[in-house]
Amino acid sequence: MSFTIDKVALLLGMSLMMIGLWGGFTQRNLLKIILSFGIFDTGLNILIVALGYLPGRTAPIIEGIVVTPENLVNVAIDPVPQALVLTAIVIGFGTTALMLAYALKLNQHKKSLDINEFKDLKW
């Protein structure tokens, strides 16, 4: 099979997703768990952008020299995954900020960041 750039990016995205999930399952420090979810988000975004790549083509922006309004269909890659990932990165940042604010409040109440200390909801 011919190895192109998007196959390397696909493998990288899958590896980062697996490493991020593994960190979320096994770590005990709250900040480490939030960091692992951030790595999972980055891997997922690389995976989605790699699905829209076509070899030998360039970015879908009209400049008048290489990409003109007439040959945009023949020299530009798929623009839809880029629009989706743009939204996903910003929402991932919002989720991370919210998780960190919750971790700060939990730390103020229990004075530790170990996830085994929070047993209030266990039956």
Partner 1 sequence: MKNSIAIVLILVFGVFLFQTFSYYQTKTELNKTASYYNTNTPDEVGAANVVTAIVVTYRGLDTLGEVTVLFLTAMIVGYILRQGGRERQKKNNTSEILITAAQVLIPGSIILGVYVFINGHLTPGGGFQGGAIIGTAISLMILANPLGTIPKAVLHFTESISGFVYILLGLAGLLFAGGFLDNRILPLGTLGDLLSAGAIPLIYSLIGLKVGTEISSIIANINETGNNTSKP
Partner 2 sequence: METFKLIMLSTLALVMVISAVMAVLSKEMPLAILASGAISLLASIFFLVLASPDVAMTEAAIGAGLTTFLFFVILRKTDQNNHENEK
**Positions in the binding site for partner 2 (CB under 8 A):** 3, 5-6, 8-9, 11-12, 15-16, 19-20, 22-23, 27, 29, 31-32, 35-36, 38-39, 42, 45-46, 49-50, 52-53, 57-59, 61, 77, 82, 85-86, 89-90, 93, 96-97, 100, 103-104, 107-108, 111-113
Nearer to partner 2, 14 or 122 (CB): 14
Q: Which of 29, 58, 66, 79 binds partner 1 (CB under 8 A)?
A: 79
- The tokens describing 85, both together, are 């990932």
- Report the amino acid identity of residue 95: T
Q: How many CB atoms lie within 10 A of CB 30?
A: 21
Q: Give CA–CA dist 35/21, Å, rounded.
A: 11
CB 80 within 8 A of CB 49: no
- The tokens describing 84, both together, are 């989706």
Q: Give CA–CA dist 122/21, Å, rounded.
A: 23
Q: Is 119 in the site for partner 1 (CB under 8 A)?
A: no
Alpha-carbon dihedral of residues 19, 24, 26, 29, nearest 10 degrees? 120
Nearer to partner 1, 56 or 123 (CB): 56
Binding site for partner 1 (CB under 8 A): 2, 4, 6-7, 10-11, 14, 17-18, 21-22, 25-26, 52, 54-55, 59-64, 69, 72-73, 76, 78-80, 82-83, 86-87, 90-91, 94-95, 97-98, 100-102, 104-105, 108-109
